[in-house]
Chain A
Amino acid sequence: MKKYAYFPGCSLEKIAHSYHLSAIETTRKLGVELKELEDWNCCGATTYFHVDELLAYTLAARNLAMAEKDGLDLVAPCSGCFKNMYFAAAHLKRDPDLAEHINFALEEDNLHFSGKIAVRHLIEIFVNDVGLEEIKKKVSHPLNGLRVAPYYGCQILRPRKDHEDVERPQFFEDLMSAIGADPVDYPLKLHCCGGSLIITSRPAALSVVRSLLQCAVDRGAAVIATACPLCQVNLECYQQQVNQEFGTKFSLPILYFTQLLGLALGIPPKPLGIGKELISLGPILLQTR
């Protein structure tokens, strides 16, 4: 059985609890064990980097050190948490002075990070570690004909980590095809959801969300699949505000990819957190049962 240290992140405790529930259900079904880090702290989000970079890396390092203590690679379902901890680990491995400074702080919590573990995004675990062939075998309720717009957003892909394709990635589409859905190709799939600008520069963010929704709708999407809580919140919870602001009539459900995967694996909707969305799924659910 594959086993990982699991870092849910602050959003998954409440506003994105359905992502947490569906991550746990789907991994279990596919023989993957997620062991939640015992006393994890906030990854630093984007805001910490606005104030103090060293402190932001220290916050991430505490989580990394706890995973290392367990001897497990760290998995984050949130793209922001993933990006922060991935680069914190990379910087600490590359820069001994930084590592020494941060490890001096970590001593206060009896922790030490020496750079032995990897940081992964949840979607990679399904695509690369479990594998699409294995997933196909386990699909009992293929989402035949469901037009899903896979939404990558930013921080799964960017900044570039290695030599991976940051311009034309296909893994999200492949995963959707593996569960029988019909992935929709739309030009804004790698664009930003607005991130925390939804709070700090609301009009700018609402206009970004509007373009994204319009683009997916124009290409015939019945649902958008996300792999990040902030993307989900901006696209779903602010959809009504977009409608009020721009006179549009969007009613496009936004689900976590794990919720769609779970349905295809035959897991009932409720344990996947379905029912907590603000935009009703309507006929989609019928189509998938």
Chain B
Amino acid sequence: MDHTPRKLIAMILAGLKDQVLASNTFWFCASCYHCTVRCPQGINITEMMYALKRYSIWKSKYKEGLIGPVFSETFVKTIFKSGRSYEPVLAPTYIFSYGVIEFLQEAQTATSLMLKGRLPLLPPRIKRLENFRRMIGRIIPVGGLS
């Protein structure tokens, strides 16, 4: 995390748009809302971090090497395809950025989960998928994300 939230807000107020977008701070927000419920000024900091994530994806301007944006976009595309999430499709968005040790550790965890029957083999799919896709099409033009 390159800037604290306080500094990031000050940068926004100072109009340092490019520096704000070049920051990785908001991709370290796990949406725990601890700051939001405690801010004495009632500022919804978590929503601000969400807004920055959306803005940087929308502008395709995010810091090199971040997993967050690619992971999020892949997740959304998976939902477009099937209506439900499917973990194995998401793995390639991050696994290749790992070092050898992390890669092996992740593979070990996945294997243990597989042996316990906790990983899906086939992607799930909702029944009224065509309606679902047309529903999405009324919100954003489909193709906009794919």
A residues near B, CB below 8 A?
10, 13-17, 38-42, 44-55, 58-59, 62, 101-102, 104-110, 154-155, 157-160, 166-167, 190-192, 194-197, 199-202, 204-205, 237-238, 240-241, 244, 276-278
Tell me, yes or no, whether B5 is within 8 Å of chain A by CB.
Answer: no
A194 touches B71 (CB 8 A): no
Question: Looking at chain B's contact residues, is the secondary structure mostly helix, strand, loop, or mixed?
Answer: helix
| Chain B residues within an 8 Å CB radius of A104 | 138
Q: Is the CB of A159 within 8 A of B36?
A: yes
A259 CB → nearest B CB, Å? 15
CB contacts (< 8 Å) of A58 on chain B: these are 135-136, 139
CB-based contact B118/A200 at 8 Å: no
B145 touches A48 (CB 8 A): no
Cα-based distance from A48 to B28 in the complex (angstroms): 16
Q: Give Cα A244 to B34, complex, Å.
A: 29
Interface bits B105-137 vs A (CB < 8 Å: 1, else 0): 110110011001111100010111001101111
20 CB contacts below 8 A, A to B, read: A14-B119, A38-B127, A41-B132, A42-B84, A49-B54, A50-B68, A51-B54, A51-B76, A55-B76, A58-B136, A158-B36, A159-B37, A159-B44, A190-B34, A192-B30, A195-B31, A200-B67, A200-B71, A240-B109, A276-B118
Contacts of A15 in B (CB 8 A): 87, 113, 118-119
- Closest chain A residue to B115, Cβ basis: A278
Inside 8 A of B106's CB, which chain A residues have their CB? 241
Kindly identify, within residues 77 to 108 of chain B, every residue whose CB is under 8 Å from any CB belonging to chain A: 79, 83-87, 90, 94, 98, 102, 105-106, 108
Q: Are A204 and B28 in contact (CB under 8 A)?
A: yes
Whether the pair A45, B118 counts as a contact (CB closer than 8 A) is no
Task: Give the Cβ gap from B40 to chain A, nearest Cβ, in Å.
Answer: 14
Contact of B28 with A105 in the complex, beta carbons under 8 Å: no
Residues A238 and B109 in contact, CB atoms below 8 Å apart? yes
Closest partner residue, chain B, to A245 (CB atom): B105
Which one of A10, A157, A201, A238 contacts B85 once the chains associate, using CB atoms below 8 Å?
A10
- Alpha-carbon separation in the docked complex, A105 to B138 (Å): 5
Q: Which residue of B lies closest to A11 (CB)?
A: B85
Residue of B34, B53, B94, B131 near A50 (CB, 8 A) is B53
| Candidates B85, B112, B120, B131; contact of A108 at CB < 8 Å | B131
Q: Which of A44, A159, A191, A200 contacts B46 (CB 8 A)?
A: A159
Chain B residues with a Cβ closer than 8 Å to the other chain, count: 60
Q: What B residues does A40 contact at CB under 8 A?
A: 126
B32 near A192: Cβ-Cβ < 8 Å = yes
Within the complex, what minimum Cβ distance (angstroms) separates A49 from chain B? 5
Alpha-carbon distance between A195 and B31 when the two chains are bound, in angstroms: 8
Contact with A62, one of B67, B76, B132 (Cβ below 8 angstroms): B132
Cβ-neighbour of A47 out of B76, B83, B102, B134 (below 8 A): B76
Cα–Cα, bound, A63→B58 (Å):
27
- The verdict on B140 contacting chain A, using a C-beta distance below 8 Å, is yes
Closest Cβ–Cβ distance, residue B45 to chain A (whole Å): 11
> Are A197 and B30 in contact, with the CB atoms below 8 A?
yes
How far, in Å, is A106 (CB) from chain B's closest CB?
A: 6
Q: Is there an interface contact between B30 and A39, defined as CB atoms closer than 8 Å?
A: no
CB contacts (< 8 Å) of A46 on chain B: these are 31
